[in-house]
A and B are shown apart, each in its own frame.
Chain A
Amino acid sequence: MEILMAIVIGILFTSAVYLMLSKSLLRIIIGTGLLSHGAHLLLLTISGLKEGAPPLLGEHAPSYVDPLPQALILTAIVISFGVTSFFLVLAYRAYQELGTDNVDQMRGNEGND
């Protein structure tokens, strides 16, 4: 299972990097979104996907899955959400001010350097 997940994560990273290398601002942000999905799944996979009860003590199960990576991922999800929404508004404002969403055209003040 872990190897399958590793391959899926690899594909997520591939798509994410490909999108981040494109010119359109929106695609770059979609790429970062995919990248964070990949990273979250990677955290979960690395810690092991062994069978066990959900980390709720009321289950009275003989074994539980590892709770620590879940806590880490929860934190990461929230932070990446904050950053993604910030990026989105930044992109929206950049379009409003500069009139383009093509990053190749966003090159600072060409005349000043």
Chain B
Amino acid sequence: MTLLHWAIISPFLAAILVPFLYKKLRSIHTGWFVLILPAVLFLYFFQFIRTTSDGNAIQKTVEWMPSFGINFTAYVDGLSLLFALLITGIGALVVLYSIYYLSKEKEQLHNFYVYLLLFMGAMLGVVLSDNLIVLYMFWEFTSISSFLLIGYWYHRERSRYGAQKSMLITVFGGLSMLGGFLLLYLMSGTFSIRELAGMADVLITEPLFLGALILVLLGAFTKSAQFPFHIWLPDAMEAPTPVSAYLHSATMVKAGIYLVARMSPVFAESGVWLWLVAGFGIMTLFWGSFNAVKHTDLKGILAYSTVSQLGLIMSLLGIGAAALHYDYLDENIYGVATMAAVFHLINHATFKGSLFMVVGIIDHETGTRDIRKLGGLMNFMPITFTIAVIGAFSMAGLPPFNGFLSKEMFFTGMVQVLEMDIFNLETWGILFPVLAWVGSVFTFIYSMIVVFKPFTGKHQPEKLDKTPHEAPLGMLISPVILASLVIVFGFFPNILTGTMIEPAVSAITTLTVDDSHIYFWHGFTPELFMTLGVILFGVLLYTLLPKWKGIYNTIPEKFTLNSFYDSGLAKGERGAFKLTRSYMTGFIRSYLVYIFTFLIGILIVTLVVKDAFVIDTSDLASIGLYEVIIALIMVVSSITILFAKSRLTSIIALGAVGYSVSLFFVLFRAPDLALTQLVIETVSVALFLLCFYHLPPLSRHEERMSFKLGNALIAIGVGATVTLIAIASYSTKLFGSISEFYIENVYEEAGGKNMVNVILVDFRGFDTLFEICVLGIAALGIFSMIKLRMTRRKEG
């Protein structure tokens, strides 16, 4: 275990301590203790920047299950480090914010911080693991801790619904991803991502490659809320706002982005990868931004905005994969897409985190997040308003904030799609810049809604539960830090390029990138005019919003993805219930019918398929008169039972069968069997008669059994099958009997002359021992059934 491994599991260890701190030190908010850990971890990871910016990586392995190829390998390169810094940095800010957001008295803080620390550790594990199985383990940890955090206010029905929904969708994706990982292992024999990336050009020729690609992408798309799996994210907004800010904007939803980026060196050679990642990304971008506008809940808007921005990053990663196909170009223009993705990833974490915190403050100070009730808050909360302006303008892509820069680069990437001539992109590629532009217009509109609806306009105090006022200073620290980062990265983007972005980009594309610069001013490029168009149309549509908002009602509620999910779930439950009801009837007869039918089917099919039915008449014994007579008696009496009008007749006929069996034993030279059979048949018949005697006078329905054709068919089928199997197996004996040994050694070895008895008590005495056990247990069982009557005693 190196320090790096301890760093990854330290949140788990800290989570154990939290309840003790909570119980023992009630006077201090538990969050203060928790805050130390992410801050320390952030500083610890910060010192790795020197290593990664030189293009180096750190790899440390601890053996876990070496025989399965599963080792806890921590791997730090530019991409991992970027995520680790986001997780710990924003983690620290969120913990600080939550100290002021969650009340010490009213909330169950120990639960909250345990879940949050579990999540933080799991997330660190996901981004720092090189082994796919370990990555999967941490991945599911994030699903579980996210489930716990969404359901934090578990007494609310909506929280439980949201938690269940996110659990079902992300675990579905997680399991698919595990399937993809296993396929990768089958192809390559290793779970290590680095070794897989080295084998990328061999893997692409494997038949399982496409399956692995799609399964891994399913995992990434569900986790990162890509269309059509985005529906869990808006419902996850039932979580406390610090959780929404942390998990559902900055970290967990980016796990899918991380996975796509991390697996890019393995999969990106394939055109399917480019189309799926870029296509689903751009679709998600458009759909998310389009839907964000219709919401009235601020967190709802931000949820859809997160969906849309994740789509943006995803589509850039997809386009960035094209760089591999044009590596002969001197200036690889497609590298810029990947760079834009990484840059926007950082930007999104900063401005979305601050916006969520702003919404949390509004909620905390006014008691509502509904934009129809809010208005004119600018005068009450000037600082919050400033932060909101910075965050929302950056989200809309306005200068001079960092969102403007990444939006410009995003347009550059999308416009460059037009120049591609692979994978049908020359015809369909035009969709990318168009959808990107339309999506950006909607992004502009909802960004303006977020900032102007609550803060400007008329103040409506009668609709609010509390008198609004500025948030406490502690609550403002985190959003202020994030907003300052938005501005700093906006004005000095190049402090990030060499330290963070380039190492991350070279980890994703496996190309060496250096000396890249992000400029404010590119000159009069198409991107600039696209941005101007976005602003122009955005302002126009925003002012005319009431006039066209009606288009959202054109899609009926029935056809939304949410109602598909809900009705799918309900139908699945009902269907399973109906299906089980249809065959689990509760009647013994039905189950016997299934069993016998299956038996007939499987045996007959096997006989036919294997061509196993043969009759070998060479070795048959001769038929004697006595045998025929007894066989006739037996057949007649067994059929008599079937048609017997009274039970007495059938019991006597059963006795007749039993005695004929013992006569057969006599004829076939089995004296011991004949004796036993005689005695036991007598006792059995006596028992049957005893039972018969006790039967109820009322239900002594000695009626003729109602003839059921189905029963008869199944019975005849079983009988015929047994006959066929008996004949076939007698005719195909593979080797002789081992009984020669018994016959030769029965006297010399065991000192007896009755072979059957010697076998029973000497050669195979164990059988006899346990047969005695069976009899003993049966006797005890009968005794206890008759003597012990719990229910009677209770009633009496």
A positions within 8 Å CB-CB of B:
1-24, 26-27, 29-30, 33-34, 37-38, 40-42, 44-58, 64-68, 70-71, 73-75, 77-79, 81-86, 88-93, 95-97, 99-104, 107-108
Contacts and interface: CB of A to CB of B under 8 A. Distances in A.
B247 to A, nearest CB: 40
Interface string B774-787: 11011101100110
Interface string B737-767: 1110011001100001111100110001001
Interface residues of B, number: 98
A35 to B, nearest CB: 10
Contacts of B711: 18, 21-22
B658 interface: yes
Nearest to A47: B737
A37 B633 CA distance: 14
Contact of A5 (B631, B639, B738, B743): B631
B676 A30 contact: no
A6 B627 CA distance: 13
B530 to A, nearest CB: 64
Interface stretch (B311-319, B492-500, B716-724): B716-724
A99 B791 CA distance: 15
Interface in B662-701: 664-665, 668-673, 676-677, 680, 683-684, 687-688, 690-692, 694-696, 699, 701
A15 B592 contact: no
B705 A6 contact: no
Interface stretch (B420-428, B442-450, B614-622): B614-622
Contacts of B683: 81, 85
B396 interface: no
A12 B638 contact: yes
A19 B684 CA distance: 18
Contact of B589 (A12, A21, A68, A95): A21
A11 B638 contact: yes
Given A78-B771, A85-B687, A103-B588, A6 B754 contact: no
Contacts of A50: 619, 621
B641 A30 contact: yes
A9 B657 CA distance: 11
Contacts of A4: 623, 627-628, 631
Contact of A18 (B635, B684, B712, B742): B712
B718 A14 contact: yes
Contact of A55 (B687, B705, B754): B754
Contacts of B722: 6, 9-10, 13, 38, 42
B759 A67 contact: yes
A5 B727 CA distance: 9
A24 B641 CA distance: 13
Contacts of A97: 791
A62 to B, nearest CB: 11
B623 A77 contact: no
B202 interface: no
- Return the 4 tightest CB-CB contacts between A and B, nearest first: A14-B719, A10-B723, A82-B778, A18-B715
Contacts of B705: 22, 24, 27
Contact of B651 (A14, A17, A30, A93): A30
Given A41-B664, A52-B669, A85-B687, A46 B730 contact: yes
Contacts of A3: 615, 617, 620, 727
A89 B785 contact: yes
Nearest to B747: A57
A74 B723 contact: no
B635 A8 contact: yes
B556 to A, nearest CB: 38
Contacts of B588: 103
Given A41-B661, A74-B756, A53 B726 contact: no
B699 A100 contact: yes
Instruction: Report which residue of A13, A24, A46 has the largest number of chain B beta carbons within 10 angstroms of its beta carbon.
Output: A13
B768 interface: yes
A21 B715 contact: yes
A6 B592 contact: no
Interface in B93-127: none
Contacts of B785: 89-90, 93
Given A13-B719, A55-B743, A70-B673, A26 B641 contact: no
A109 to B, nearest CB: 11
Given A71-B764, A92-B694, A64 B715 contact: no
A1 B627 contact: yes
B647 interface: yes
Contacts of A1: 620-624, 627
A102 to B, nearest CB: 7
Contacts of A57: 743, 746-747, 752-755
Given A14-B715, A79-B771, A84-B684, A74 B673 contact: yes
A2 B732 CA distance: 13
A47 to B, nearest CB: 7
Nearest to B711: A21
A48 B774 contact: no
A46 B696 CA distance: 42
Contacts of A13: 715, 718-719, 722-723
Interface in B145-173: none
Nearest to A22: B705
* Most-contacted residue by chain B among A2, A47, A101 (CB, 10 A): A2
A54 to B, nearest CB: 4
A100 B642 CA distance: 21
A86 B755 contact: no
Contacts of B791: 97
B775 A82 contact: yes
A86 B673 contact: no
B136 interface: no
B654 A6 contact: no
Residue from B627, B641, B647, B754 having most chain A Cβ neighbours under 10 A: B641
B708 interface: yes
A56 B755 contact: yes
B623 to A, nearest CB: 5
Contacts of A74: 672-673, 676, 756, 760
Nearest to A63: B743
Given A17-B715, A21-B714, A67 B774 contact: no
B207 interface: no
A96 to B, nearest CB: 8
